[in-house]
Amino acid sequence: MSAERDVIDLDEYNDQPAEAGGASPDRLMARQKMVLRLVAAFVVGVVLGGVVVSELRDSRQQRERRSSISLVAFPASVGSGGSDGKGVLQVNGQLVVINAGPAPITVRAATAQRHGVLIRDTGQSAPIRPGGTAWIDVKARIECSVEIGDEPLSMQFSVETEGKQVIREVTYPVAIVGTVWDGAPDHLCEQRR
């Protein structure tokens, strides 16, 4: 048999193992490109996933921050009043509300009630920017026979966040002692007797 064969005899069995580097250079290059593409796709997926998760987290934190409500309230003035003749004093006044939260709010309602005392807003909404102040007109109905006492009055506010996203009921203790409302009902009740 000659050293070079032009024809391969398929009936002949060759015991020699195939060469280790038997893959063609084109196939090796195609495998390397495929591995490189898979690695690149994985890296792009990780980066995009990280960006999306970060944006979602930031968006959620911003929504939470904008929907948080923090306010401070205290009596501002006491106006004129009258009596219904049955020992019940009706007085006009004002309440100062400060928006201590991070987003604009609108106070839709303000009420307080305990034995012998009822305070309600007059129905006007008060928009307040962050760090801003609003004066809310209120009407108080006070029984002259009941002592108001030293305890803060628990005021309930109906507050709407920016864009009408959330309407919440917020309770804030309004101190009476040491304010313009301190002693005013007693003085007005004495005048009516």
Task: Say whether both 37 and 123 belong to one domain.
Answer: no
Distance of CA 57 to the CA centre of its chain: 13
Q: pLDDT, tens digit, for every residue of 13-48?
A: 666 655 555 567 788 888 888 989 999 999 998 999
Residue 44 shares a structural domain with residue 84:
no
Our count of domains for the chain comes to 2
- The rounded percent of the chain whose pLDDT value lies above 70 is 79
- CA gap 132, 33 in Å, rounded: 62
On average, the pLDDT of the chain sits at: 81
In a domain, 20, yes or no: no
Q: Is the same domain home to 146 and 184?
A: yes
> From CA 15, how far away is CA 92, in angstroms rounded?
111
Owning domain of residue 30: 26-67
Q: Are residues 36 and 84 in the same domain?
A: no
Q: Say how far apart CA 106 and CA 97 lie, in whole Å.
A: 11
pLDDT at res. 135: 94
Enter the pTM of the model. 0.62
Average pLDDT over residues 63-91: 78
Is 90 exceeded by the pLDDT of residue 147? no
Determine the residue type at 42: F
Question: pLDDT tier at 65 (50, 70, 90 boundaries)?
Answer: low
> Is residue 105 in a domain?
yes
Judging by beta carbons within 10 Å of its beta carbon (0-12, 13-18, 19+), is residue 11 exposed, middle or buried? Answer: exposed
Domain-ending residue, one of 9, 37, 67: 67
For 95-104, what is each residue's pLDDT tens digit?
999 998 888 8
Cα 26 to Cα 92: distance, rounded to the nearest angstrom = 92
State yes or no: pLDDT of 83 exceeds 80: no
Domain end (from 16, 36, 67): 67
Distance CA 101, CA 67 (A): 9
Query: Residue 15 falls within a domain, yes or no?
Result: no
Per-residue pLDDT averaged across 92-118, rounded? 89
Same-domain check for residues 57 and 85: no
Confidence label for 90 from pLDDT (cuts 50, 70 and 90): confident
Examine residue 45 and state whether it is found in any structural domain, yes or no: yes
Q: Is residue 167 part of a domain?
A: yes
**What's the pLDDT tens digit per position in 120-138?**
999 888 899 999 999 999 9
In a domain, 79, yes or no: yes
Are both 90 and 178 inside the same structural domain? yes
> Both 48 and 79 in a single domain?
no
> Can you give the pLDDT at residue 2?
55
Phi, psi of 111 (to 5 degrees): -140, 155
Are 138 and 172 in a shared domain?
yes
Of the chain, the percentage scoring pLDDT greater than 90 comes to 20
Q: Is residue 14 part of a domain?
A: no
Q: Are residues 61 and 154 in the same domain?
A: no
- Least trusted range by pLDDT, from 11-20, 24-33, 50-59, 155-164: 11-20
